Every structure is written in structure tokens, then in C-alpha cells.
Amino acid sequence: MWGGRFAAGPDAIMEAINASIGFDKRMASQDIAGSRAHAAMLAATGVISDSDAEAIREGLLTVLSEIEAGSFAFSTALEDIHMNVEARLKEIIGEPAGRLHTGRSRNDQVATDFKLWVRDQFDAAEAGLIALIRALLTQAAAGADWVMPGFTHLQTAQPVTWGHHMMAYVEMFGRDLSRVRDARKRMNESPLGAAALAGTSFPIDRHMTAEALGFDRPSANSLDAVSDRDFALEFLSVASISAMHLSRMAEELVIWSSAQFRFVALSDRFSTGSSIMPQKKNPDAAELIRAKIGRIFGANTALMMVMKGLPLAYSKDMQEDKEQVFDAADNWMLALAAMEGMVKDMTANRDNLAAAAGSGFSTATDLADWLVRVLKVPFRDAHHVTGTLVAMAEQKGCDLPDLTLADMQSVHAGITEDVFSVLGVENSVNSRMSYGGTAPAQVREQIARWTALLG
């Protein structure tokens, strides 16, 4: 493979550390697509003959069919997917195969292959996020007016609606969708034709290959083109943020499906049993999502460490980029699909949600707001009055609505019977009509907005 520069082949250990075919064969279809575009361009610019280009095209299709059929024999001695494909192409078509690599290097070739692969993963992530958002919208629409407790510090805070809680995740995953689309657009420049690092003296047409491969334009600097892995880092960064959102929701599903909460029931399709306890129904899919997220975070950190000290242009260190991205992509796509499945199948327990919504003095803020709005009490004073009433209710072993008017007037003489109109959880959520609030009318507006956005 190395021609005349080396008198002996590599040591077995060198071969083992140097070879990447064990993992970069995943980019076979992208490698062949790039080679086909490159060969067509070489013929169009007169660098190689039309007959050679046609032989290369047909030979590459044969190689691709062998790989897809599982009959292709990959060789670690040939290091990577590029040389494996080229060597087999030479066996099939002979001398014309040697002209394919004119005007390019493995440096720009691997950057192109990898970009094409990552771009495909961005497209898959977009589809997965849209499917998950649609599942959440369906849940939100079904329970737009179902009351449940809203939490801070995992303590009951104020009543909200089930629909509002689902829409919070729609917003989270919607930002992920925006990041996916933004990163995909930014990465869509073709490295092909940058060659080793300095471009080439052959009269190639990089715009032609960029267009053939679906890129918006060729990259503008050959040094940067072969040494850039920002697209991979950005993929991992976007995946990490999205994975964090998936993990947060997974955590809630684990809590909500527990016997202590019983807010939701997960379907049998996304639960498992116990080998010893017949009553158990474990939320294993949610737990595994929560765990797999660490692999995505780890991949992001690992590739940052690989790239942080590399001088321009290409260094062999960059071979360590792919396994990180491949593993993160696999786990992100799996987590998205599993979460979509759980959300689609889960059943919210409306009665349990409603019962919990009124516990823990969840309407205390409504009482304080009433004091401000009706009695014109300064909010800090209203906060103090309400806190005193909460302590009284706690001492009596009851909730705020169960206090008598006399109890309340003993703390603030101006309180009237009207105060009880704001202490019910239904009244509480219906009153939160500020934009983005939990009132069912506001929730339905946001559902309609997102439904229109997704088309």
C-alpha cells in the first residue's frame, strides 16, 4: 500500500494500533458515494477518461453490493474503509482503479465520508425528535385540563396541568430540534478536493463534487477542511444536550410510575419483571435511557480531549473521532426511539394526579395573590400571612381550604369568604392565563402552535 518508501511491512502491533477498518467500515456507503462523485468530476474536467470513469462507477457499485450482501472480505492490513474499497475495486476493474485517487488524499476523503455519515445521523435525529414531540403533543392534548402538582425541589409547589407538563418537554425537545437543524446547516460544506492539506494542482471542480454529494458549497480553506472535526463535536454537543433532556424525562417516568406516586402506568412493551418478585413491573427502558446518557457525555468529552492539542493540519489522533461519534449516535437514536415509545404508550392516572394536585398546600401562592389583588396587601406581607396560615393548617393536620374563615381572620381580619374561590386547584390553574402559563386555554394555544410548526 505504501509503494516504494518502506522496505518492510508494519509490525503486527503497529498494524493493530493503526487499523480502523473494524469500525470505519460503517462509512462504506458514504465512502463509495464520495468516490463516485470524485470519479465523475475527474472525467468531466478531463483528468481521467470517460471510459475509466465508467469502469470506476460500475466497479464501485459492485463493491457496494458485496458490502451490503455481507460477502465483502475486510482486511486489517489495508487499514481502513478507503483502502479496502480501492483494493477490491482494483481486483474488479484493474488499472483504472489506480486513477480514482487522483486529486485527492485520504485526509479529505475521510473528512468527506465522516461528514456525510454525521449528516445522515442529524437527519435521523431530526426524524426521531419530531416523532417524540408529536407523541408529547398527543399526551398534552388529551390532558390539557387535567390538574396535577407542579414541583420545585421535588416538593409540591403549585397546581399545573398534565398538558402543561408535557408541553415543557415539547419546548425542550423543540430546542434540540432547532440545534440539530442549525448544526446540520453549518456543517454542510464539502472537504473533498482539499487533498492532503494544500489542495491539488489538477484542474478539479470542487463545486461539482459538493453539489453531487448534497453539500451547499465546498469548504473554503484546504487546511481547515482536512483538520476540521467541529461538525463531529457539534453533533456530540447537540446529542449531549438532547440526551440530558431525555434523562430528565426518564427520571420523572421512573418516579411517576412508582407505587408511591402512581401518576403514570408504562406499557408492558417498555417494562420488565423481576426474577424473584412476581408483583414487580420495572421501568427498565427509562432507567436504561438514564444510564446510556453517560456514554454520550463521555464521547463528547473524549473527542474534545483528542482535538484540543492538535496542530494543523491532519494528525493520526483524529482516527479516534469515529468510535466516539458512532457509539453516541447509536445510543442517542435508541434513547429517542425508546422515549417516543414510552410516551405514546403510557397512561396518565387522572384521579391520582388530581388527588396529589391539592396536597402540600399547593394553592398557598393563590392565597397570597388574593391578599395582594383583593385586599391590596403588599406581597411581602401577604407572603407572611399565607405562611402563618400554612403553619396553622399544618398544626391542625388539614389543608388550606379546610381552614375556617374564622381561622383565617385570626391571622388577617380583612379576609372574606371570597378567599375560598381561589383555593381550589381547578380555579388555580384556570387563573394562570399569562402567556405560557398552565391554564388549559394557554396549553391548547401552545399545542396548536407546535402542531402548526411541525406541519
Strands 347-348 and 217-218: unpaired
- Tell me the percentage of the chain whose pLDDT exceeds 90: 80
Alpha helix stretches (DSSP H) within 221-349: 222-227, 230-256, 284-307, 321-345
Please list, in sequence order, all residues whose beta carbon lies within 8 angstroms of the beta carbon of residue 119, skipping any fewer than 6 positions away: 184, 187, 188, 214
Mean pLDDT (whole number) for 312-334: 93
Structure confidence by residue, pLDDT tens digits, 186-212 = 999 999 999 999 999 999 999 999 999
The per-residue pLDDT for range 351-363, each reduced to its tens digit, is 999 999 988 788 8
Q: Is the pLDDT of residue 130 over 70?
A: yes
Neighbours of 453 (CB within 10 A): 10
Catalytic residue among 274, 315, 359, 421: 274
**C-alpha to C-alpha distance for 176 and 267, rounded to whole angstroms:** 26
Residue 348 has pLDDT above 70, yes or no: yes
| SS3 call for 289 | helix
Dist. CA 393–CA 403, nearest whole Å: 7
Indicate the pLDDT class of residue 395, thresholds 50, 70 and 90: very high
Question: Among this protein's residues, is 237 annotated catalytic?
Answer: no
Contact 345, 264 (CB under 8 A): no
Q: Is the pLDDT of residue 10 over 80?
A: no
Q: Which of 71, 153, 201, 275 is catalytic?
A: 153
Instruction: Tell me the CA distances in angstroms from 291 to 162, 251, 265, 411, one per residue in order.
Output: 26, 10, 21, 50
Mean pLDDT of 250-278: 86
Cα–Cα distance for residue pair 191/196, rounded to 1 Å? 11
Q: Above 80 in pLDDT, residue 95?
A: yes
Q: Which amino acid is at 273?
A: G
Contact between 78 and 87 (Cβ < 8 Å): yes
The label of the residue with cell 474499497 reads 85
Instruction: Render pLDDT for 39-81 as a digit per residue (tens, 0 to 9).
Output: 999 999 999 999 999 999 999 999 999 999 999 999 998 989 9
Q: What pLDDT sits at residue 212? A: 98
Contacts of 152 (CB under 8 A, 6+ apart): none
H/E run at residue 155: strand 155-161
Higher pLDDT: 274 or 172? It is 172
Work out the average pLDDT over 264-282.
78
- Rounded Cα distance between 214 and 207, Å, is 11
Distance of alpha carbon 61 from alpha carbon 49, whole angstroms = 19
Q: Which residue has the cell 407546535?
A: 450
Weakest-pLDDT range from 63-72, 152-161, 372-381: 152-161
Q: State yes or no: pLDDT of 367 exceeds 60.
A: yes
How is residue 260 written as a grid cell?
A: 408511591
Q: Is 153 a residue of the active site? A: yes
The total number of residues shown for the chain amounts to 455
C-alpha cell at 235: 453533533
82, three cell numbers:
478507503
Percent of the chain with pLDDT over 70: 97
